[in-house]
Amino acid sequence: MRLGLDRLQPLGRALMLPIAVLPVAGLLLRLGQSDMLDIAFIAAAGQAIFANLGLLFAIGVAVGLARENNGAAGLAGAVAFLVTVEGGKVLLTVPPEVTAAFAEQATRDLATAAWKTKELAKLSVPAGILSGLVSGWLYNRYSGIKLPDYLAFFGGRRFVPIAAGFAGLIGAAVFGLGFPILEGAIDALSRWVVSAGPIGLFVYGTLNRLLIVTGLHHILNNIAWFIIGDYHGATGDLNRFFARDPSAGAFMSGHFPVMMFGLPAACLAMYRSALPDRRKAVGGMLLSLALTSLLTGVTEPIEFTFMFLAPLLYVLHAVLTGIAMVVMDALGVRLGFGFSAGLFDYVLNYGLATRPLMLFPVGAAYFAIYYFAFRYCIRRFNLKTPGRETEPATVATASSSSDDQAAGIVRALGGSSNLVSIDACTTRLRLKLVDPAQVDEAALKALGARGVVRPGGNALQVVLGPIADRVAGEMRALSHGAPPVAAPAMAEPLPAEPNAAWVAALGGAANVLELSISAGRVRARVANPAAIQRGAITQAAPRGWNEVSPGVIHALVGF
């Protein structure tokens, strides 16, 4: 499937890195509270993560956007965020009533500082995301910058945090001087969402599922979970829930009936609809998918089994999610999670929930609706769900090692030389390829992929489930250690830097218009492509090379 949204894909991916720390934050915060273990320092440790979400987003988004996820971008994100927040505090205008009750100057100063910290904390997540976006862009743009010799120490990656600091000054001016406008805009958004009532919840729930195909649902979730609403300085539905706001949880509760009951029922329907002689082959896979959804709330592996086979069935699934949001809100149910709407989070946060037992009758109804809807549609329209294919489906077995799976995926993607970048979010590989046409989708599905999405350009996403991040790491290790491609045995390899040997391989100095190296990649542009010595370049670029357009060479040579 092709979508014209490839430019937004990195943002959706980057937002997942800071969100990944929320499970440990929620776990520590809940275990330390009085109705659990009643250990104050454990609760304080969890609260520290929630209190510094802005900083975590600044670091995580910057690293997620940067090439090779380099840590220098994370440092730059932290610098930009701290300059933005601390500089913005100085520029805030303090209302007279904040200090009117205090006579001593020291006390007035403390009251002023406390007010500034509390007020700007309301915008810490937007400030963190913007700081991360700017810092990631600065790293990708300037990490290879060359300065004059007397300033050379500050060149390259060291330049990025410096530039981020100056960018933070702009952020400080925006958030400090523009605080009344920004606060008013977020308050207006929060009031609109609240006033929208069931309609707003329905639209959120439906879009949350529909946007999964693009990977952009993370952006929508960040607005709902971390920005909308304010309760004693805690912003967003998720933060307010853990701060014990009795009105929080509206944007989370409706996910539980779908993830714990509805989608496992869909798996049962697919199993019952499979051909009798293939049920055993697909039963283990469908059971694994159902348990993953039930226990952890990770649903994409299930959704991609029918998303493209039956788009109308997927639209029904999205609409039912929106309806679940409305129903749970109408029943006064308030549930929350630190990771997703699975049984683990339900049990852990039971003590914070409102009317949590209402989940079971609603869930039972959703189980029945999903089971019979899927069973009817699969049989009525002869959908080729697992176990109903014309040829027996190849199911990845547990006996295959993870290394073999990663190596197989690399081969199915066209080999190491076809991989430009390898990233992952919760359930999917997010890739940039030299030539997407080399991808073997049938082989990917045989290796356990639940779906393949082509957002546009050279981007590709492979849905694997919760193992995606581990597989991405193994693929990176395999790609970095890839052997030379088609190198003549007796020839001497060229140095992996743009020196005289590279100039010769590109047809001589007169033929070279541009030649540079950055982040392990040689970039060259020549006047006459016919003069290029392709064999010599193949030896010099063991990770592969490509003529991206006539006369323009990109070669991967290591780091």
CB 296 within 8 Å of CB 363: no
Give me the catalytic one of 193, 282, 425, 452: 425
- Backbone φ and ψ for 499, nearest 5 degrees, come out as -105, -160
Q: If you search the block for the tokens 């995580």, which residue do you land on? A: 60
Whole-number Å distance between alpha carbons of 291 and 297: 9
Whole-number Å distance between alpha carbons of 364 and 360: 6
Whole-number Å distance between alpha carbons of 144 and 142: 5
- Backbone φ and ψ for 460, nearest 5 degrees, come out as -150, 140
User: What SS3 class is residue 374?
Assistant: helix
Who contacts 308 (Cβ-Cβ below 8 Å, separation ≥6)? 1, 451
Sequence letter at residue 163: A
518 forms beta bridges with 521
Sequence letter at residue 317: H
Who contacts 500 (Cβ-Cβ below 8 Å, separation ≥6)? none
Instruction: Tell whether the torsion through CA atoms of 363, 364, 367 and 370 is positive or negative.
Output: negative
Sequence letter at residue 86: E
Closest CA to 501 of 482, 522, 477: 522
Determine the straight-line distance between the first and last CA of the chain, rounded to whole angstroms.
33
Joined tokens for residue 370: 């999903």
Q: How far is CA 275 from the centre of its chain?
A: 37
Instruction: Tell whether the torsion through CA atoms of 517, 519, 522 and 525 is positive or negative.
Output: negative
Cα angle 185-188-190, degrees, rounded to a multiple of 5: 110
User: What SS3 class is residue 558?
Assistant: coil
Q: For residues 242-273, b (16+ Cβ closer than 10 Å) or e, as one string?
A: bbebeebbbbbbbbbbbbbbbbbbbbbbbbeb
Whole-number Å distance between alpha carbons of 254 and 356: 12
What is the crossing angle of helices 217-226 and 9-19, to 10°? 40
CB 153 within 8 Å of CB 65: no
- CA distance to 322, 355, 383, per residue, from 328 (Å): 10, 10, 31
CB 443 within 8 Å of CB 487: no
Is 425 among the residues known to form the active site?
Answer: yes
Give 4: exposed, middle or buried? Use CB within 10 Å, 0-12, 13-18, 19+: exposed
Whole-number Å distance between alpha carbons of 312 and 47: 43
Q: Which residues are known catalytic residues?
A: 425
